[in-house]
């Protein structure tokens, strides 16, 4: 946006308004309101704005669109930072703006590279969707990774469309939607008679891709699920966040989960799941509470998964962990799964010496360390992979569990931090893809909601309301984890990244060659 700062330079407001419109449409594509159809045309105004732009100007417009989109999608961060992090509103707004600006760098980079390639003779129809997927993959890993609101996630309710995720992961859906945006833009140009390009071939290519995707999707939805049935019971205690870590309220929390479990668990052999930190104390050092929970599992004759912090002694050092404990139907402690991917500034403060003002964000839940190993828990019905909190948004973690034999994914979380915002719905939408990618069901127990049962095809078989004390019972059919994605991972996204790097090197080489020829 540097041209806005040049004295006497006339500002072209039209392209800026078009880029802003794309940002708004992108934000509306995700929950809530989750108008998924908008994602298919959200980028058309941005393409129109950048059509005749220089690469640098295209990057500026891409940044503006991305900034507006992420400000709209992630507005709930202010609830977390002000209500629970106790940060001043001004500082919260600044950090929120910084994160949105960082995320907006990715669409800016994509627009810059696509426009540069176009000027170098590479069609944006070929480059843009590939670059978009490559950028999403990089965003999933750089700076600990934050793959929130990848473009494909906007389509989580369109089940025939997302079945290709068992081959390509969510990135295949992102690719298709990005490609469709470019085709619709070219069709719009042709209809306005502002471009001599006749978009028949690109439109036919889109039709073939969509038809093939939907054909595969309907076939996948009609496949029988071969695995055995398992009963599950998800318990949503609705414990207020301001009371959750109050020691005086610990007994009441346990009482709530015991009562709801006894009321609804009527069949032995049920997998009972309590949310993240349902036990707001160290189960290892609270024998009285541990005995109550263990005797409950024995009484119900069922496996019980309960979230609780844990600790490990290493000489004089103590490591604190965000964990899930498995209690067998006999009442014995049968295993523990430790969270691997921690929330920066939520469960630990990276570069703590540089961010002393952020210490209050982790107050109440401690400064955690990541678990040392990732392994499924063994229940009577088979192995389960436990995803603690936002581990459900990282596909590589779910895949690792399934690769080790987990036939069921269990997501325990506490989304009370987000209040009555869009965040719990956005969080849920991403876990739908984890089930489809690996062809295993996923059950989700959340302290204040949304708790849900999702089958291996992405159907949400049941879900609770926010901020209600509730239980959710159902049956899931265990998966075998034999999908292409489970076996091979993000090959599609990695191919897009490799292709993008190859294109960049080609453009650089041609540029160097041209300079040498003119010298």
Give me the active site residues, please: 276, 339, 389
Q: Which two tokens stand for residue 182?
A: 């470019």
Maximum CA pair distance of the chain?
Answer: 85
What is the rounded distance in angstroms from the CA atom of residue 309 to the CA atom of residue 244? 13
Q: Which own/partner pairs from 206-215 qualify as long-range (CB within 8 Å, at least 24 positions apart)?
A: 206/179, 206/180, 209/176, 209/179, 210/176, 210/180, 213/160, 213/161, 213/163, 213/164, 213/176, 214/160, 214/161
What is the rounded distance in angstroms from the CA atom of residue 85 to the CA atom of residue 65? 29
What is the rounded distance in angstroms from the CA atom of residue 315 to the CA atom of residue 326? 26
What is the rounded distance in angstroms from the CA atom of residue 227 to the CA atom of residue 456? 10
State the helix-helix crossing angle for 55-73 and 89-119, rounded to 10 degrees.
140
Work out whether strand 229-236 and strand 271-273 pair parallel, antiparallel, or are unpaired.
parallel
3-state DSSP helix/strand/coil % of the chain, to nearest 5: 55, 15, 30
Contacts of 511 (CB under 8 A, 6+ apart): 120
Residue 55 near residue 112, CB atoms below 8 Å:
yes
Can the peptide bond before residue 33 be classed as cis, meaning omega within 30 degrees of 0? yes
Burial 122-143 (b: 16+ CB within 10 A, else e): bebbbbbbbbbbbbbbbbbeee
- DSSP labels, 356-384: GGGGGGGTTT------S----EEETTEEE
Indicate the SS3 state at residue 61: helix
What is the rounded distance in angstroms from the CA atom of residue 370 to the CA atom of residue 118? 44
């Amino acid at each position: 946006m540097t041209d806005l700062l040049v004295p006497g330079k006339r500002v072209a407001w039209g392209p800026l308004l078009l880029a802003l419109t794309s940002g708004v449409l992108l934000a509306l594509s995700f929950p809530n309101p989750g108008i998924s159809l908008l994602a298919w045309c959200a980028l058309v105004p941005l393409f129109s704005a950048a059509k005749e732009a220089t690469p640098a100007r295209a990057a500026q417009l891409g940044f503006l669109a991305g900034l507006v989109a992420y400000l709209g999608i992630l507005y709930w961060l202010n609830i977390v930072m002000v209500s629970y992090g106790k940060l001043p509103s001004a500082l919260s707004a600044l950090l929120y703006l910084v994160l949105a600006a960082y995320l907006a760098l990715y669409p800016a980079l994509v627009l810059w590279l696509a426009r540069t390639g176009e000027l170098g003779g590479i069609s944006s129809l070929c480059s843009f969707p590939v670059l978009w997927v490559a950028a999403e993959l990089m965003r999933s890993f750089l700076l600990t990774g934050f793959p929130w609101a990848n473009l494909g996630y906007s389509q989580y309710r369109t089940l025939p469309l997302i079945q290709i995720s068992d081959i390509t992961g969510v990135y295949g859906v992102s690719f298709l939607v990005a490609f469709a945006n470019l085709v619709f833009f070219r069709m719009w140009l042709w209809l306005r008679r502002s471009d001599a390009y006749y978009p028949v071939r690109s439109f036919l290519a889109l039709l073939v891709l969509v038809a093939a995707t939907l054909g595969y999707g309907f076939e996948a939805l009609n496949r029988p699920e071969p695995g055995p049935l398992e009963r599950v019971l998800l318990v949503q205690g609705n414990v207020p966040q301001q009371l959750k870590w109050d020691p005086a309220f610990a007994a009441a929390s346990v009482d709530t989960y015991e009562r709801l479990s006894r009321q609804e668990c009527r069949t032995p052999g049920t997998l009972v799941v309590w949310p993240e930190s349902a036990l707001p104390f160290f189960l290892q050092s609270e024998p009285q509470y541990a005995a109550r929970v263990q005797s409950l599992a024995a009484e119900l004759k069922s496996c019980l998964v309960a979230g609780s912090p844990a600790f490990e002694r290493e000489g004089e050092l103590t490591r604190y962990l965000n964990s899930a404990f498995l209690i067998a139907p006999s009442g014995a402690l049968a295993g523990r799964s430790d969270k691997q991917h921690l929330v920066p500034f939520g469960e630990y403060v990276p570069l703590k010496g540089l961010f002393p003002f952020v210490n209050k964000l982790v107050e109440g839940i401690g400064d955690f360390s990541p678990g040392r190993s990732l392994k499924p828990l063994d229940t009577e019905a088979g192995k389960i992979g436990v995803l603690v909190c936002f581990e459900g948004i990282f596909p590589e973690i779910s895949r690792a569990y399934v690769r080790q034999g987990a036939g069921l994914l269990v997501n325990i979380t506490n989304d009370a931090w987000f209040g009555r915002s869009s965040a719990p719905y956005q969080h849920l939408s991403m876990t739908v893809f984890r089930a489809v990618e690996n062809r295993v069901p996923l059950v989700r127990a959340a302290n204040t909601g949304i708790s849900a049962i999702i089958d291996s095809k992405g159907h949400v078989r049941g879900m609770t309301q926010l901020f209600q004390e509730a239980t959710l019972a159902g049956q899931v059919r265990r998966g075998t984890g034999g999908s292409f994605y489970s076996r091979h991972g993000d090959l599609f996204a990695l191919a897009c990244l490799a292709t993008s790097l190859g294109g960049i090197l080609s453009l650089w080489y041609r540029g160097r060659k041209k300079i040498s020829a003119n010298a």
